[in-house]
Structure formats: structure tokens, C-alpha cells
Amino acid sequence: MGWENADWGPGDPPDEVRDEEGESFDLPYCIHQHPVYVVARALGQQLTSSLNVLNKNAGDTITASASGDLMHSFWDVQHEMIMAINATDTGDMSLALVHMKRALSAINQAIGLTAHLPIEAKLSSAEATSDIENALFDLREICLRVMADCRWDGSRN
């Protein structure tokens, strides 16, 4: 996917692994350093905070059930994207595609749930509603790009 260091080999000792600037890595790789993870978590936090603002401003117009369903779909998106990142790290591009498709399904569910929120709730906090929609479409774009990369890597093998 272009995120890994091409100069590294499985038999190379850690002190020979270098980044683009020629400096050695001090820390081992972990998923928290993956760019898709960072973006997915940031957008997930934006979704959560925007939903909290929407719930506070909407009062009783949004039911607890609707809010819970929406939050659960946000969680599903993040979970599936993290699982896809794990799959790409292990080289299983087919599994990564499956998880990204599931993430897209959760995004579509969240978009549908957002569309069915009462109009009074949406109008009470138009900025929060807009932030939710924008974050969902940003996550959708990331999923599509990662899926394209997985398909490209899969066709190369």
C-alpha cells in the first residue's frame, strides 16, 4: 500500500532498518502508527462528539434508541476499519477487502440512521449534523481508497 518501508527485510536486524531520512527507528511498529488507524480514530471521535452535541441540543426529539443505534454504527465502522488494517499488515488483502466492505455497510447504515433523525433535531444543531455527514463521507472515501489499494496489491501477486 506504499506505507511500509521497502528497505527492510525480514532477516534484517532492527538497527539496520532506516526511514527515508536515514535515521534508525527507535520504536517498534504498532497499529497506532498506521495512517488509516489515525484518521479512522480521529473521525470516529469527531462523530462521537458531534453526536453528543446533537443529542444535547435536540433535547427529547432524538430517542435513546435512535441515538444508541447511531453510536453503535459509528463503533462498527471503526472496528471494521481496524480489522482491515490488521489484515493489510499481515498481507491478507482479501480479508482486508471483506472488513472494508463491512465498514462501508456500517457507514451506509449510519447515513441512513442520520437521514431518519427528526428534522427538529437536525435543525437544532445544523453544524453538528453537517459534521456527522462530512465525517461519514470522509470515512467512506478512506474505505474506497484502501479497497482500491488492496485490489491493486492483490492483482499484482
Whether residue 60 lies inside any domain: the answer is yes
- The pTM for the full model equals 0.77
Whether residue 73 lies inside any domain: the answer is yes
Whether residue 13 lies inside any domain: the answer is no
pLDDT of residue 80: 96
Whether residue 112 lies inside any domain: the answer is yes
**Using one digit for the tens of pLDDT, what is the confidence trace for 65-94?**
999 999 999 999 999 999 999 999 888 999
- Choose between 81 and 31: higher pLDDT: 81
Angle at 95 between CA 90 and CA 97, to 5 degrees: 115
Instruction: Provide the number of structural domains found in the chain.
Output: 1
**The domain containing residue 131 runs over which residues?**
33-156
pLDDT of residue 150: 86
Whether residue 23 lies inside any domain: the answer is no
Query: Do residues 62 and 123 touch, judged by C-beta distance below 8 A?
Result: no
pLDDT of residue 32: 79
Give counts: helices (H), strands (E), the chain: 5, 0
Whether residue 9 lies inside any domain: the answer is no
CA distance 126 to 138: 18
45: CATH = 1.20.140.40
Has residue 7 got a pLDDT over 70?
no
Query: Do residues 74 and 51 touch, judged by C-beta distance below 8 A?
Result: yes
Has residue 153 got a pLDDT over 80?
no
Whether residue 118 lies inside any domain: the answer is yes
Query: Do residues 111 and 69 touch, judged by C-beta distance below 8 A?
Result: no
CA dihedral 21, 26, 28, 34 (to 10 degrees): -50
Amino acid at 35: P
Whether residue 25 lies inside any domain: the answer is no
* 61-73 exposure pattern, b = at least 16 Cβ within 10 A, e = fewer: bbeeebbeebbeb
Closest by CA to 67, choosing from 111, 117, 27, is: 117
Q: Average pLDDT over the chain, rounded to whole?
A: 86
**Using one digit for the tens of pLDDT, what is the confidence trace for 121-149?**
999 999 999 999 999 999 999 999 999 98
pLDDT of residue 12: 53
Percent of the chain with pLDDT over 70: 79
Has residue 5 got a pLDDT over 70?
no
| Cell output for 113 | 440512521
Closest by CA to 40, choosing from 91, 109, 86, 90, is: 86
